[in-house]
Amino acid sequence: MTSENVLNTLAYASDETEFYAPMPAGYKPGKTKYVFVFGTVMSGLGKGIFSSSLAKCLKDRGLTVAPIKLEGYLNLDSGTLNPYRHGEVFVLDDGMETDMDLGTYERMLDQDLSQLNFATSGQIFRRVLDKERKGSYLGRDVQMIPHVTGEVKIKLRELAVASDADVVFVEIGGTVGDVENAYYIEATREMAFEEGPDSCAFVALTYIISPPKLGEQKSKAAQLGIRGLLATGIQPHIIACRAQEPVTRKVLEKIALYSNVPIDRLFSMHDCDSIYVIPDMLRGAGLDDQVIDILRIQDRCHAETGIHAREAWQGFIGRLKSATRQVRIGIIGKYTSVRDSYASILHALEHAGTALGARVQVEWIDTTDVTDERADEALAGLDGIIVPGGFGVRGAEGKIACIRHARENRIPYLGICYGFQMAVVEFARNVCGLQDASSTELDPDTPHPVIDILPEQKQIEGLGGNMRLGGRDVQVRPNTLAARLFNNAPEIRLRFRHRYEVEPAYIERIESAGMIFSGKAPDYPIMQILELPTDVHPYFVGTQAHPELQSRPLRPQPLFLGLVRAAVQRAEQRVLASTGQGASL
Ligand code: GLN
């Protein structure tokens, strides 16, 4: 049976057929090709970075690409996951709360993603169970194969239809051998069978161990990992070997021998300084050519697009490597021991720094025991500070003390979401004279609830997926710092994830004391950006949004650019004061 036949045969498994491949409306067999990326040996190999870099290489050849991450866990989204364990929650424009890898894809591809680009086992099973209740399975017993795997295939094909992509990149979470991901792997095998020859490329990422005592690379774990994949009925086309150092020819030959993968389809993916050099590393090794060859899509590539995209990227890498100005920015938060909890902020700082020729050194500040008296000491030597998003009461008073110190001592400040709210609390207490002003998240009985729960949040119960989430339009007030930063655009779009807001009853009081709300929601009195006048403070800005989620290597986010620019100026004034020299921005 040809692939075309398989696709047309069915529809729903019934008494007449065992196949189960319902096609979403508009699906064009053969139009979209698929690349499946699996991890073997262990997690934490940077599968997302690898897949997104490879997807970028293909995009830079003029192909349209659409990534999707398949997560094994049963949560419906990543919103309820603890950032300590799982890294930051990344919010997409449509409000989907996802794994941080989606951030890597958005940054690498400079492409906005949506819920179509993210699946969890929870979502897949929910769809299956909803269909079961509606009687859609026509009296059949509902099984892992073909129904659950069928739902995975529908999800992949829905993305193909919606994106009209040349290539859908599918990253399977976890490691081959995990029980929770096994049905995803099975679905990809079925997919390749149904779609037919030249339609799917299977890529395995593996790890080459170098025990320090032995002083040589050992390939056994990688061989066993690949064997695990072969046992699922999948023959990888390409194997990428993660390692500390470049993988030796001898090791690559061994892996070729055990995996049936020719040596020119085995790649060394050794550690490098920045994730942004990986696309060039993959291109240099010819990985994109191999994928294009496997999928037979040479005729869809455009050489022109490629040249421009590569030049722009190399320009970015050049600036990244040559940045010399040093700035120190403090991140003041609760999860500061886990860098992944603030991944997007770190990237946003790097993008802004690179655009300004600056290397941003991040200092982590734990505020658990910072007070007004000790803020000076805690923030000594910093050129700028960020209070990032957060929840709950722990460390809040320390953050407020740091914000006060930044405001009074003209230290560049960017408050993100919770950091915006705490800046309002600090200002209300210390400038507006509203004693004990607070957020009702910290103190439900405060006499001055300057930050209070959004009205739409009052009726909601439970903590899953119900914050004010996703992209929203923001009106920018003309002739403000925000207006300058956003090039005088009257309306911009930012991404949100919050339950609390500035209580509208206090807006006038706060503004009359000198704080400017320079960004607002178009239809409601929801304050979205705050600032102090630049003659009072060089850079004191807060936003109810999460601007870090929208920063891209070649398009740094304006509020971060503003912070880093002000921090560079502060750093240089310090140098100037001590040496009598300086540079201008
Ligand atoms: N806890 C605050 C709120 O719910 C801030 C949220 C955040 O920083 N993402 O509004």
Domain limits, the chain: 32-123+165-315, 323-578
Q: Using CA positions, which residue lies closest to atom 6 of ligand 1?
A: 498
Is the pLDDT confidence value at 5 over 50?
no
Ligand 1 pocket member 69 (CB < 6 A) = no
Confidence of residue 340 (pLDDT cuts 50, 70, 90): confident
Half-sphere exposure of 122 (CA within 13 A, CB side): 11
Does the beta carbon of 193 sit less than 6 angstroms from any atom of ligand 1?
no
pLDDT level of residue 413 (50, 70, 90 thresholds): very high
Strands 516-520 and 468-476, sheet pairing? antiparallel
Categorize the per-residue pLDDT at 581 as very low, low, confident or very high, splitting at 50, 70 and 90.
low
For the cut 90, the answer to whether the pLDDT of residue 2 exceeds it is no
Q: What percent of the chain has pLDDT over 90?
A: 79
pLDDT (0 to 100) of residue 329 = 97
Asked whether 149 and 190 are in contact (CB, 8 A), the reply is yes
Those residues with Cβ within 8 angstroms of residue 218's Cβ, 6 or more apart along the chain or in another chain? 208, 209, 210, 211, 251
The SS3 of residue 207 is strand
341 within 8 A of 366, measured Cβ to Cβ: no
User: Which of 217-221, 238-242, 575-579 is predicted least confidently?
Assistant: 575-579
Identify the pLDDT of residue 9: 41
Q: Which residues contact 385 (CB under 8 A, 6 or more apart)?
A: 329, 330, 331, 332, 365, 379, 402, 406, 411, 412, 413, 414
Neighbours of 257 (CB within 10 A): 12
Q: What is the mean predicted confidence (pLDDT) over 451-461?
A: 81
- Residue 365 pLDDT greater than 50, yes or no: yes
Query: pLDDT by residue (tens digit) across 316-331?
Result: 999 999 988 999 999 9
Got the DSSP string for 438-493? EETTT-TT-SEEEEEE-GGGTT--SSSS-SEEEEEEEEEPTTSHHHHHTTT-SEEE
pLDDT (tens digit per residue) in 399-409: 999 999 999 99
The predicted structure's pLDDT at residue 334: 65
Pocket test for ligand 1, best of 89, 386, 421 (most atoms within 8 A of CB): 421
Instruction: Report the separation in Å between the CA atom of 29 and the middle of ligand 1, taken as the mean of its atom positions.
Output: 44
CA of 502 to the centre of ligand 1 (A): 12
Superfamily for domain range 32-123+165-315: P-loop containing nucleotide triphosphate hydrolases (3.40.50.300)
419, two tokens: 């950091």
Q: For the segment 381-398, what is each residue's pLDDT rounded down to a tens digit? A: 999 999 999 998 888 999
Model confidence pLDDT, tens digit, residues 141-186: 999 999 999 999 999 999 999 999 999 999 999 999 999 999 999 9
Amino acid at the residue 31: K
Q: How far is the CA of 498 from the centre of ligand 1 (A)?
A: 4
- According to DSSP, the residues that pair with 70 across neighbouring strands are 119, 172
CATH class (in words) of the domain with range 323-578: alpha beta
CA 349 / ligand 1 centre spacing (Å): 21
Can you give the pTM of this predicted structure? 0.93
Q: Which atom in ligand 1 lies closest to the alpha carbon of residue 454?
A: 10
Q: Is the pLDDT of residue 44 over 90?
A: no
Which is the catalytic residue, given 417, 501, 503, 531?
417
Residue 498: active-site member: no
pLDDT higher than threshold 70 for residue 511: yes
Length of the chain counted residue by residue: 585
Residue nearest to atom 9 of ligand 1 (CA): 389
Mean pLDDT of 115-133: 96
How remote is the CA of residue 417 from the centroid of ligand 1, in Å?
6
Q: Tell me if domain 32-123+165-315 and domain 323-578 are identical in fold.
A: yes
Q: State the distance from the centre of ligand 1 to the C-alpha of 391, rounded, in angstroms.
A: 6
Lowest mean pLDDT among 224-228, 233-237, 368-372: 368-372
- Note the pLDDT of residue 410: 97
Phi, psi of 245 (to 5 degrees): -115, 165
Structure tokens at 116: 């179509």
pLDDT band at 336 (very low <50, low <70, confident <90, very high): low
Mutate to test the pocket of ligand 1, among 345, 499, 527 (most ligand atoms within 8 A of CB): 499
Band of pLDDT at residue 16, cut at 50, 70 and 90: low
Is 283 a pocket residue for ligand 1 (Cβ < 6 Å)?
A: no
DSSP assigned state of 432: S
- pLDDT, tens digit, 9 for 90 and up, residues 265-305: 999 999 988 899 999 999 999 999 999 999 999 999 998 88
Q: Which of 147, 448, 537, 546 is catalytic?
A: 546
Mean pLDDT, residues 39-57:
92
Looking from the CA of 490 toward its CB, the CA atoms found within 13 Å total 1
Q: Is the CB of 545 under 6 A from ligand 1?
A: no
Cα dist from 362 to 46, 302, 345, 346, 561, whole Å: 22, 40, 10, 8, 15
Judged against a pLDDT cut of 70, whether residue 14 lies above it is answered with no
Per-residue model confidence (pLDDT) at position 303: 82
Q: How far apart are CA 252 and CA 260, in angstroms?
A: 12
Token readout for 398 is 């320390």
548 is catalytic: yes
Chain-wide mean pLDDT for the chain? Answer: 92
Task: Say yes or no: CB of residue 499 within 6 Å of ligand 1.
Answer: yes
What share of the chain has pLDDT > 70, as a percent?
A: 95
Has residue 458 got a pLDDT over 80?
no
Asked if 464 and 76 count as a contact pair (C-beta separation under 8 A), the reply is yes
Q: Looking at the predicted structure, is the pLDDT value of residue 13 above 70? A: no
**What CA–CA distances, in Å, run from 117 to 237, 434, 553?**
24, 46, 21
CA distance 112 to 441: 32
Report the atom number in ligand 1 closest to the C-alpha of 451: 10
**CB atoms closer than 10 angstroms to residue 151:** 21
Please say if 426 is a catalytic residue: no
CA dist 51 and 34 (Å) reads 12
Q: Is 419 in the pocket of ligand 1 (CB under 6 A)?
A: no
